[in-house]
Amino acid sequence: TSLGVQVHGGMGFIEETGAAQYYRDAKILTIYEGTTAIQANDLVGRKTARDGGQTAKAIAAQIEKTEAELARSSSPAAAAVLKRLKPAREAFIEVVDFVAGQTKASPNAVFAGSVPYLMLAGNLVAGWQLARSLIIAEDLASRSVDVDFMQAKTATARFYAEHILNKVPGLRDSIVDGAESVTALPIDMY
């Protein structure tokens, strides 16, 4: 939604576009659902560490199947999405291994990266779903079904891969290597 407001520039906050309402609606979700950190800590503790990352790795295996489908396509859009989806999935697995392996031994190190982990997982899953939509859209467009709409779906998936999904490996670095900078200052220095 933030990107949508940026597309409209100053007009993004003028009510005629509707962009501002989407932005407000998205922002309020973090208030209704609790803080982002609470959700992130739940992802670390109950959704990843509890089962040693097995559920997360099962999702990664499904994403890998989508990668194989993308690889069978000869389209530039599918290649562009695959180029970003695979490293994002691999980064996710590295983070899952870190979280599952370090939660008991170094909980502060793991929880210091909980919010970036939530963002990484969300960006990966969104990229995966867009990749799936791209595969279907290309198939339907090849059969002349609502071609303009299908091309828009393909373009959206590619945009997401090249502008959002490509940031996932950097999030991995923050999570796996960034705890010391988060915990470096004593609490009384804040």
Q: Write the DSSP string, the chain.
A: -HHHHHHHGGGGGSTTTSHHHHHHHHHHHHHHT--HHHHHHHIIIIIIITTTTHHHHHHHHHHHHHHHHHHH---HHHHHHHHHHHHHHHHHHHHHHHHHHHTTT-HHHHHHTHHHHHHHHHHHHHHHHHHHHHHHHHHHHHTTSSHHHHHHHHHHHHHHHHHTGGGHHHHHHHHHH-HHHHH-S-GGG-
What pLDDT tens digit does each residue of the chain (190 aa) get?
888 777 777 665 667 778 888 888 887 776 766 678 888 999 999 999 999 999 999 999 999 999 999 999 999 999 999 999 999 999 999 999 999 999 999 999 999 999 999 999 999 999 999 999 999 999 999 999 999 999 999 999 999 999 999 999 999 999 999 999 998 888 888 7
Provide the annotated active-site residues.
Answer: 33
Q: What is the pTM of this model?
A: 0.86
